[in-house]
Amino acid sequence: MFLSFPINPYFSMPLPSWLVFAVAFSPLPYYNEAKLKGKNRKDDCDMEMKKRCISLYVENQIGVLAKISGLFAGKSYNLDTLTVGETEDPTVSRMTIEMTMDDVTFEQVKKQLNRNVVVIKVMDFSDIPIHKTELVYIKINSCTEKDKNEIFRIVNSFDHLEIADYGKKSVIVRYVETEGKVNDIIDLFNKTFINRIEVVRGGSVAIEAVSTTTR
């Protein structure tokens, strides 16, 4: 049995029926579709927004902070926190930078930082054991005696939470903990003393862990 396969209106080429069947039911399109889906899943993973943390050793010079922050601003990269301070070597400072971005953009950031002349070393803390804490001051205003008693009760309930300053109408508490716990304590004070608190956060500092880890 033969079938006719039209090439143009004026010509027809006879083909065996088994060949037509084989072409019609070839698994190749499904294989290509599966490969395409796998590629799309990989691209989705690359574009997933994640919390990142890097530590930089930089030269302790005037204008270094402006150069590093300007690099991020010039590329429209958004920083969550940036802290910097002098190390045991007075000629070197250490920065801790937190940001939220996808894998591709993060790799670009690290390459650009490594090319910067003021950067001595770049360390990626995103997926290794580290110790990371953040400082926050919370000022509670318009306090009554009942409010002050509640503040002291809260302070006594949490480790690393302490009274930093105390006045007739205001109380300042200081808390040094991980970012998640800092968020929780701010939320607690905000709900307890509605529209009466001021918050000042110092950003995170981080160092490689020796045995345990905190984030």
Cα 73 from Cα 67, distance rounded (Å) = 10
The number of CA neighbours under 13 Å toward the Cβ of 204 is 28
Judged against a pLDDT cut of 60, whether residue 11 lies above it is answered with: no
pLDDT class of 17 with cuts at 50, 70, 90: low
Higher per-residue pLDDT: 24 or 144: 144
Instruction: Give the number of residues written for the chain.
Output: 215
- If DSSP codes are grouped into helix, strand and coil, which group holds residue 105? helix
Q: Please, what's the largest Cα pairwise distance for the chain? A: 103
**Which amino acid appears at position 150 of this protein?**
E
What pLDDT, on a 0 to 100 scale, did the predictor assign at position 41?
55
Q: What is the pLDDT of residues 139-197, one digit of tens each?
A: 999 999 999 999 999 999 999 999 999 999 999 999 999 999 999 999 999 999 999 99
The span from the CA of 182 to the CA of 158, in Å, is 11
Does the predicted model carry a pTM greater than 0.75?
no
Model confidence band, residue 201 (pLDDT cutoffs 50, 70, 90): very high
Indicate whether 18 pLDDT > 60.
no
